[in-house]
Amino acid sequence: MHIECRHEGATTWLAPTGELDMVSGPLLLEHVERELTPGHVRHLVVDMAAVTFCDSAGIEALLSARNAATDRAATLRTVNVVGLARRTLEITGMLDFLGGSD
């Protein structure tokens, strides 16, 4: 998995590419933790347009990332959730919880 990162003021955009699973989930969480460390990030947006698959480990990574953001008084939401990743988040009830129902 490759994750692009861009900053817009107090918002950081993370755009993972590929599968979000037990192998790549820790990488996403590592990026989130790195971005939250400076303390200037207030909002994290995970653009999932290029995520082709998301399993339970991927969902766990997203929830852990959301919790890490909340612990640091920041927000995390997903956008552009499509395909199998969208279906997985819908079935589990996580799509709305993670803000990806746009």
Mean pLDDT of the chain: 93
| Distance in angstroms (rounded) separating the CA atoms of residues 35 and 56 | 24
Q: Identify whether 102 is part of a domain.
A: no
pLDDT digits (tens, 9 = 90+) for 46-57: 999 999 999 999
Q: The whole model's pTM is what?
A: 0.93
What b-and-e string marks burial along 2-33, b requiring 16 or more CB atoms within 10 Å of the CB? Answer: ebeeeeeeeebbbbbbebbbeebbeebbebbe
Provide mean pLDDT across the span 28-45: 88
Residue 102 has pLDDT above 90, yes or no: no
Domain that holds residue 89: 2-97
Q: Identify whether 65 is part of a domain.
A: yes
Structurally, the chain folds into a number of domains equal to 1
| Cβ–Cβ under 8 Å, residues 50 and 37 | no
Place of tokens 């989130």: 32
Provide mean pLDDT across the span 61-82: 95
Q: Identify whether 68 is part of a domain.
A: yes
